[in-house]
Amino acid sequence: MGRIVVLDTETTGLDPKRGDKLVEIGAVEMINRRLTGNNYHQYIQPERDVPMEAQAVHGITEEFLADKPVFAAVADEFLAYIDGAELIIHNAPFDVGFLDNELGMLAKARGTKLPKIRDICDVTDSLIMARQKHPGQKNNLDALCRRYYIDNGHRELHGALLDSEILADVYLAMTGGQTNLLLAGNDAEAGQGDNAKQVQTRVDGGGLTVVYASSEELIAHADKLEVVAKAAGGSAMWTEVESSTE
């Protein structure tokens, strides 16, 4: 599986053609369905006012943005970060439209050519995916978190990096059921019993570690089943299931 970047933006409004600009870009990187920790997060001075309606959504004020860099100062670093990745964006036309607008204005100011987002990245719209999987239902990020039992209680306001992290969880749930975003390379830390046995398997194209129970854990499991059986006055259902599969 290639490199995935889950991305979100915050803006001064809804329409770049009417002068609305970016105020924040947030993105998280996944390789083999694991977060790498190589995130991108940047607040941007939009060189215009931030209407109260927008502030009510993301809480980003003009005062906070006063000392932040303009898009021209961060564009090259941002393009290098996303280059060649598959971008996962919820309602992609919105975010891509703003990014392409900023790149177009910058190219004109520099007198050079800059790529559009789809020139250097594949773009997957997770909103379209959600509508295909759940037609006729609400498919905004909050609704998807409820549907897939993803905790977003810390999300009081929209934020590009926070929403990217939540969307990564939602994307994994929609595409394979995995919602545990361990950092890449941390698999070996799980199940560290002396006799634990680990093997690599493939699920949806990603490498996951299967950790088998140690002998001590199997003994403890059997002892627990005996306690359950005695309390139930018969046998534990799990014992019957294990017996039927031997």
- DSSP codes of every residue in 138-200: --SHHHHHHHTT---TT-SS--HHHHHHHHHHHHHHHHHS----PBTT-GGGS---TT-EEEE
The type of residue at 154 is H
For the chain, what is the radius of gyration of the CA atoms?
A: 23
Cα distance between residue 1 and residue 36, in whole Å = 14
Among 195, 19, 23, 16, CA closest to 8: 23
Q: Which residue has the tokens 């409004």?
A: 13
Residues with active-site annotation: 158
